[in-house]
Amino acid sequence: MRTGKACVGFKTFQSGTPTLNSKPNTMFNLDSLCFFKTNLQSAIIILHPVSTVTGTISSYSITMLKVPEHQVAGRQAIDGKLGPLIDNSGHFYKPLQDDDERGTRELTFYHSFSSNTRIPHHIRRFFPVFHGTQLLKASDGSGLRPHLVLQDITSDHLNPSILDIKIGSRTWYLEASNDYIQNCFHRDKTTTTVSLGFRICGLQIYNESGFWKPGRKLVRNFTADDVRSVLRKFVSSNVGPEPDCCFADSVYGGCDGILERLLELKTWFEDQTMYHFRSCSVLLLFDKESFLRGKTPFAEVKLIDFAHVVDGNGVIDHNFLGGLCSFIKFVSQVLADSKGSTMEDKF
């Protein structure tokens, strides 16, 4: 039996409609294509044709793509817009953007990085696994579009707290268009990018009452003090005005903690002159439930968004490195303060 893949249709669902008359992974004929009841806002059906020995397609199995539940920044595949999708097998499908050639650039980066033998194993772990590209009907209804197939970083976690931090005091680069440079220049000055060397682009923090997920405008106006506050809340059991930082030591500290991972990255950035990561984010993930159940990893550090990676030309990425060092200092201070307050609590 030969198998193949075919991307057939895109349809936006409203919760509860249309009528349920099939289930995921049901085998069915193309003629009887139908949709099933779902509680997702939107979904893409991929039909995998199942052929007979004579090559005739007898039936299809389906894969359902949905809007990532835990996406905290970037364009979202909602309201007819172009955005990434995920499946239930741990894949993240990111549409290649065609404005400013950023799509091509991200794909080029993944190809280069995947085959680059000079990337140490412990550094490769910081990057989502790349599974190639796949043609899918885009979530904005614009037709077939190539998507990067990447590791879905959140797939192993039920309620992950996530911080998306765009690193660097400058998001533009000399090779970009003048309009792009001016837009970035303005945005960098009016956020913490210039002052702190990084900015939080999005976040969600899980607590007993659900996720705290401030809106984009609020996040964009974050000050240095807001950043400190977010870093405290990220490792607290509460997100009120006085976060308890009770997970700080476990999540930020220790030899498996986020701080140690960031320092590993820093060491690599002090040396590597292959890539310059403009507008790239460090994603911090912490899953309280995994932690409380003793599951590992309960905290992760990943790099994401490589649409603006340019050739390093033999120079280190001083922009990323400087911003990363600044962010490390912020995390260190939260960790030190939390230890200080724990000590105070004890005496």
Query: Under the rule (CB under 8 A), what is the footprint of a copy of itself?
Result: 169-170, 174, 185, 189, 194-197, 224, 270-271, 273, 313-316, 318-319, 321-323, 325-326, 329
Nearer to a copy of itself, 28 or 185 (CB): 185
Nearer to a copy of itself, 33 or 325 (CB): 325
CB 136 within 8 A of CB 76: no
CB 238 within 8 A of CB 303: no
Nearest to 44 by CA among 102, 84, 98: 84
CB 6 within 8 A of CB 47: yes
C-alpha 62/C-alpha 285 separation (Å) is 30
Nearer to a copy of itself, 47 or 282 (CB): 282
Nearest distance from C-beta of residue 72 to a copy of itself, angstroms: 24
110 DSSP assignment: H
Nearest distance from C-beta of residue 331 to a copy of itself, angstroms: 12
Nearest distance from C-beta of residue 310 to a copy of itself, angstroms: 10
Quick one: angle between helices 318-346 and 258-269, nearest 10? 160
Q: Which two tokens stand for residue 311?
A: 């050739």
Residue 204, H or E segment = strand 198-207
Nearer to a copy of itself, 170 or 261 (CB): 170
Nearer to a copy of itself, 70 or 278 (CB): 278
State phi, psi for 212 to the nearest 5 degrees: -95, 115
Nearest distance from C-beta of residue 324 to a copy of itself, angstroms: 8
CA 282 to chain centre: 9
Nearest distance from C-beta of residue 179 to a copy of itself, angstroms: 15
Nearest distance from C-beta of residue 5 to a copy of itself, angstroms: 43
**170: helix, coil or strand?**
coil
Nearer to a copy of itself, 36 or 185 (CB): 185
State phi, psi for 135 to the nearest 5 degrees: -80, 125
